[in-house]
Chain A
């Protein structure tokens, strides 16, 4: 169900899903007994697809993302990224990641922060420089390449973090509430930029968020989760169309409000049939 066409000519064999989660359960051992964070999760993210995970606190959406990123291991079930185990995928640098906090290294300039993953993986300096310039351009920070993070606004820091996550042209982006700490106006502009970047790079995105409009605006599918234990309750297709522009006009379109309503009702557990919703 690849909604966006890939243009960057990656070497993906056709038909390999970006992420495949099968029967995944995660329990955390605590002093008061085991806490079930995730239970029987099945989820497939197709190549180039934008999937948002949404749900109340404690529904395990961040945990699911961390499992895909191999920052944690599932108690049961399997996770495959591009057809290989999550650990392999991490070692092969198959994904880029961005967190709620930008997590920039304060002693490095914007350019050096973006270059960090390239540096760690031995990309030659000349190539690194070219790639960093390209990425700074992509996120609109060319004039700020020599600044340090403490000289940037929160939104700009977050854009550096996104540029960094894109440094190695990953075919999968994992984002854990990357815009959660931003004000509403910055947030909307960042969403538009991310939609553009995702379309340009053709990368699949798994995007954790608290915000219903954000999830609807960005994604091809919105995965609604419920807590205690963390489960997928519904998956809603936004179905705005293959080449629908993610811009300001979409935010005011009737279809947009339809999907927002659908996601809201799914979150609150009120079953109202709406076009474009799909029960799974």
Chain B
């Protein structure tokens, strides 16, 4: 802790706030290293494809490195080039990248709905667990247990249950089953992170609120929620990643059309004739995950005041 003698003499030097130029160059170098990483991956890919045996590296009957044929490992430029070509040879077929982008956006939308549902459920669970210790003891083991249910087995059941639901004339759509499964994966880290965050205020702060005769709701609003932000943001990011994975896997196992999960399966089936095409939805899924995590990072920027270090 530094102590300035004369407070009027000048602003206290904030150790953490960096001049904007340094921050900008740091952000720039982060992007640069990211690009270098991708480039390095492409070089390693091509280098192994060039040097490795075409049947892969097999030791004692187990293949520990993949085959290097064009079928198993297409060239990087082939995979990129394929993205620019039409999906099929049929007349008026859109370029592959557009089809991938559309499917990724569809999945992103479903995952976002799942994430929102997971957010509401997760925070509601955290609130009741924070409020009543007994609920925490009773509920937390079940919440952890819920995540051990195998998702792939679960998805078709949800779909068949959903098809029987008809609430007030609103018919249950297949994408809702997918969103529900996404939310099932997303709520878990959010519930756990929010609980830790809501429990994080120091005793001095809770006692201060007590001396102000502030009840449960004012304390929640002015102290517990703001204090939970540093715990909540990583949980939300995990939740977003989980929602994307959940949505893709659920699309695959329920056979939902239109999403990236469906394209993954469909194009993998065409891999023997068009090996580069099978990689396109994989890139799409990666981009999808980055966008989802990036959106939470933007949220973190908006809430930056709530992420300041604890002042003593």
- A interface vs B, CB < 8 Å? 69-71, 90-91, 93, 95, 97, 99, 101-107, 116-117, 119-121, 140-141, 143-144, 147-157, 181-183, 185-186
Contacts and interface: CB of A to CB of B under 8 A. Distances in A.
Contact of B310 (A69, A91, A106, A181): A106
Given A107-B306, A186-B5, 6 more contacts: A93-B212, A107-B305, A143-B7, A148-B308, A155-B7, A185-B5
Contacts of A116: 212, 222
Contacts, number: 104
B309 interface: yes
Contact of B1 (A70, A105, A106, A181): A181
Interface in B61-87: none
16 contacts: A71-B210, A99-B204, A99-B208, A106-B309, A107-B227, A117-B212, A120-B209, A120-B212, A143-B7, A144-B12, A148-B308, A148-B311, A151-B11, A153-B1, A154-B2, A156-B7
B12 A152 contact: yes
B89 interface: no
A140 B8 contact: yes
B3 A186 contact: yes
A152 B306 CA distance: 17
Interface of B: 1-5, 7-8, 11-12, 14, 16-17, 202, 204-205, 207-214, 218, 222-223, 226-227, 229, 305-312
List 10 tightest A-B contacts by C-beta distance, closest first: A149-B311, A151-B14, A103-B204, A154-B1, A107-B306, A106-B308, A153-B3, A106-B311, A91-B213, A153-B4
A104 B218 contact: no
Nearest to A186: B3
B207 A71 contact: yes
A156 B10 CA distance: 13
Nearest to B10: A143
A157 B312 CA distance: 8
A153 B222 contact: no
A105 B222 CA distance: 9
B1 A156 contact: no
B210 A153 contact: no
A161 to B, nearest CB: 9
Contacts of B202: 103
Contacts of B207: 71
B218 A120 contact: yes
A120 B7 contact: no
Nearest to B310: A106
A107 B229 CA distance: 10
Contacts of B3: 153-155, 182-183, 185-186
A103 B17 CA distance: 21
A105 B309 contact: no
A176 B222 CA distance: 24
Contacts of B7: 140-141, 143-144, 153, 155-156
Nearest to A144: B7
Contacts of A156: 4, 7, 12
Nearest to B210: A71
Most chain B beta-carbon contacts within 10 A, residue among A140, A144, A150, A157: A150
A238 to B, nearest CB: 28
A90 B208 CA distance: 11
Most chain B beta-carbon contacts within 10 A, residue among A90, A140, A152, A157: A152
Contacts of B16: 150
A50 to B, nearest CB: 20
Contacts of B1: 153-154, 181
A140 B2 CA distance: 18
Nearest to A152: B12
A148 B15 CA distance: 12
Nearest to A71: B207
A58 B166 CA distance: 67
Contact of A101 (B209, B222, B229, B312): B312
Contacts of B4: 153, 155-156
